[in-house]
Structure 1
Amino acid sequence: MTQPAQTGDLDAALVALPKVLLHDHLDGGPRPTTIVELAAGIGHELPTTDPQELGRWFVDAAGSGSLPRYLETFVHTLAVMQTADGLRRVAREAVLDLAADGVVYAEERYAPEQHQQRGLTLQQVVDAVREGFAEGEAQARAAGREIRVVQVLSAMRQADRAGEIAQLALANRDAGVVAFDIAGPEDGFPPSRHASAFRTVRDASFPATVHAGEDGGLESMAEALHVAGAVRLGHGVRIADDVHAAPDGSWRLGVLAHWVRDRRVPLEVCPSSNLQTGAAASIADHPVTTLRRAGFEVTVNTDNRLQSGTSLSRELGLLVREAGWSLDDVVDVTVTAARHTFLHDDERRALVERIVRPAAPGTAHAGRHRA
């Protein structure tokens, strides 16, 4: 792929590229209009009832540098996701929004335990989300866009329900749930607090991805890998603390960085979100570029589309415009994401081919990317 000369050409090329999204929170992506409408129906008070103003409020609050204000944003999204109807609608619209952005496969994560304020059981939460995804996929297909969206179930690391959520994930492994995760504050709530839950999924040959290396450092990532048995790292950008450029242009890696790179552990990097949380100072200086150059398995993701005012195409576009990436780099990390989905190997290979074929006519890229 050649580099588009104009901004419009770049945007169009990025939307047209079939993309894979591995780290996106369902409660971090509702449409502002939907939040306003659902909030009115349940009497929940919002900062504003103007959808455009509300969308700006979410981005401003999430980027304010104030943790209480950042967390307040999820108070409002979670409030409208406490009924089966609300969950179905948010899930359906998430699929449609992702499909409109050219995403062909997405793993949406959320914590079922946070959606029980109005009496839903954990299984009812999972069922409602699954139904919403199915409705969204059918509507996208009718509009000529093929997309598949599956669930990653998160347990909140500051709570004590990881065992329940692990069992819930296993009970739904043949019904659209593909992995187990823990989310929430890293500091003070290490994966070892939930070692039993991770052992449960590991013994059942079920994969885990762990939020680590966003706020926490090397110790947090080491526990995610060695205690939790994570096969992917949610964020993982702090592994860059263990990576150093040598004067001759080579890379000097610490013990943990070598472990991550040598075993091809994928990093679920979310550039804009990292700026908001202080894990990076700018897109131009974001560790994702260093990590990719040093040979790590880098994927690019959105984290919370509402709070970051973003999409996957936008995230990739920022890296092209501000970090010097080429469209070949974009295709490469997209293929990396496809290779590390929680799908079976034959499905991964088909997904890689779906990305490579339109991205690089002929066989030029097919030889570079091995499924």
Structure 2
Amino acid sequence: MTEELIHTAYSPEFDFRSLPKISLHDHLDGGLRPATIIELAAEVGHELPHTDAAELGRWFLESADSGSLERYLETFDHTIAVMQTRSALTRVAREFVEDLVADGVIYGEVRWAPEQHLQRGLSLDDAVEAVQAGLEEGMAGADEAGTPIQVGQLITAMRHADRGTEIAELALRHRSRGAVGFDIAGAEKGFLPSKHAAAFEILANGMFPVTIHAGEADGLESIREALVIGRANRLGHGVRIAEDIDITFGGVDDDGQEVDESTGLVTLGPVANWVRDRGIPLEVCPSSNLQTGAVAAYGETIETHPIDLLYQTGFNVTINTDNRLMSGVSLSDEFELLVEAFDYDLDDFLELTLNAAEAAFLPLEEREVLVDYINNAYAELGAGAEADAEAAEGAE
């Protein structure tokens, strides 16, 4: 058991898009442009709720903002329907990269389930290759524009289906051709990671990285299985680890000193302690968590989200978007949301971004390059802000 004291953070002023970002939890079928959905739907004869891009974008946001993960997932029927051909997958993947670049992302991992994209004759390998072609087009365009980015695929199995071992083998086949990790996704409650134990055994034997959706629509049992059976290197969302954290006000701390009644004393249970002490990264998606009801036990606003509790008590928190279309957000928007709610400043975002860089499914040398780049960029931003402040003071 461990105990920590909660502290407070402070607010910055800067352009969030100028911050270099790492995106670890971002679904391909949740990041389409509304205009692209309309064009692709017309090509395949799929009926949409709206054929105006602005109206369609609003429909996705309103439909997803129901407080239910199941309702949230229903919106994907439309995006998946238009992602069934090689050309569509390539286009969506290319635009996905372009939109990340526009938001200041320098490294991203895109997760998606190839088994959902076989309705028009593609094989699993065809689908992965089509997405990889789009990612490479997007990366090449970004490099030519002087805004380089690296993006890898997280090959995902649907947890309610029975194709886990097949998808694990697919991921391993493509490990040197764009695939950087494996995931299971979909309805979490009732479909524990143990359902795919054989797949995780294959991945462990292949020494292939794994991240698992856990601690979003289900609690500690799901998280425990993700760690023990799935050998998860990261937890997708993971916010319900907060259920294993107890907060008391007042009392006595570990040194026998009385604690002020306004100060929260945090005690970690065994699962939370394991996750925190081993630095297992949490892929937290603030806006999505509010939409799906993942953190409804704590309240309905960002101010009640347990992300600040997790961050302040030393969990390895990373910030992500989950589904940019359904949540109507970018990573910059998520950063701004945290400033408004918790007064985070440049130092906080540097720490959160470094957490993500160090958690990336990349070789150590490449992660070190990312870390150096981020540190240098933040140092320049800090120096620039300080110079502006001094100039403003001098002008007075």
Out of 244, 262, 268, which is 1:253 matched to?
A: 268
Unaligned runs of 5+ in 1: 365-371
Give the distance between the partners of 1:155 and 1:103, measured in 2 at CA.
Answer: 25
Out of 34, 37, 40, which is 1:35 matched to?
A: 37
Report the 3-state secondary structure (helix = DSSP H, G, I; strand = E; otherwise coil) of the residue aligned with 1:44.
coil
Q: How many residues align?
A: 357
Give the distance between the partners of 2:303 and 2:236, measured in 1 at CA.
Answer: 21
Q: Deviations over 1:32-89 (max 9, x none)?
A: 0000000001110000000000000000000023556433310110011000000000
Structure of greater relative contact order (alpha carbons < 8 Å, 6+ residues apart): 2
Residue matched to 2:294: 279
Query: Counterpart of 1:128 in structure 2: which amino acid?
Result: A
CA RMSD in angstroms, aligned pairs only? 1.6
Query: Counterpart of 1:144 in structure 2: which amino acid?
Result: G
* 1:210 equivalenced with 2:212 (yes/no): yes
Q: CA deviation at 1:118?
A: 0.5
The change in CA–CA distance for 1:345 and 1:363 in structure 2 (over 3 A counts) is farther
Give the distance between the partners of 1:361 and 1:42, measured in 2 at CA.
Answer: 48
> Quick check: 1:269–1:299 contact (8 Å CA) kept in 2?
yes
Q: CA deviation at 1:244?
A: 2.3
* 1:355 equivalenced with 2:355 (yes/no): no
Share of identical aligned residues, percent?
57
Report the 3-state secondary structure (helix = DSSP H, G, I; strand = E; otherwise coil) of the residue aligned with 1:45.
coil
> Quick check: 1:320–1:327 contact (8 Å CA) kept in 2?
no
Out of 279, 304, 324, which is 1:264 matched to?
A: 279
Report the 3-state secondary structure (helix = DSSP H, G, I; strand = E; otherwise coil) of the residue aligned with 1:151.
strand
Residue matched to 2:118: 116
Query: Counterpart of 2:202 in structure 1: which amino acid?
Result: T
**Please, what TM-score do these two structures have when normalized by structure 2?**
0.88
Report the 3-state secondary structure (helix = DSSP H, G, I; strand = E; otherwise coil) of the residue aligned with 1:206.
coil
Q: Deviations over 1:323-354 (max 9, x none)?
A: 22112111110010000000011111100111
Give the distance between the partners of 1:209 and 1:292, measured in 2 at CA.
Answer: 20
> Quick check: 1:285–1:323 contact (8 Å CA) kept in 2?
no
Q: CA deviation at 1:299?
A: 0.2
Question: 1:1-150 counterparts in 2 under 5 A?
Answer: 4-5=12-13, 10=14, 12=15, 14-65=16-67, 69-150=71-152
Report the 3-state secondary structure (helix = DSSP H, G, I; strand = E; otherwise coil) of the residue aligned with 1:333.
helix
Residue matched to 1:369: none
* 1:336 equivalenced with 2:355 (yes/no): yes
Unaligned runs of 5+ in 2: 1-9, 251-258, 384-396
Question: 1:157-168 counterparts in 2 under 5 A?
Answer: 157-168=159-170
Residue matched to 1:311: 330
Question: For the pair shown, which has the larger CA radius of gyration, 1 or 2?
Answer: 2
Q: CA deviation at 1:135?
A: 0.4
Query: Counterpart of 1:179 in structure 2: which amino acid?
Result: G
Report the 3-state secondary structure (helix = DSSP H, G, I; strand = E; otherwise coil) of the residue aligned with 1:154.
strand
Report the 3-state secondary structure (helix = DSSP H, G, I; strand = E; otherwise coil) of the residue aligned with 1:284.
helix
Q: CA deviation at 1:136?
A: 0.5
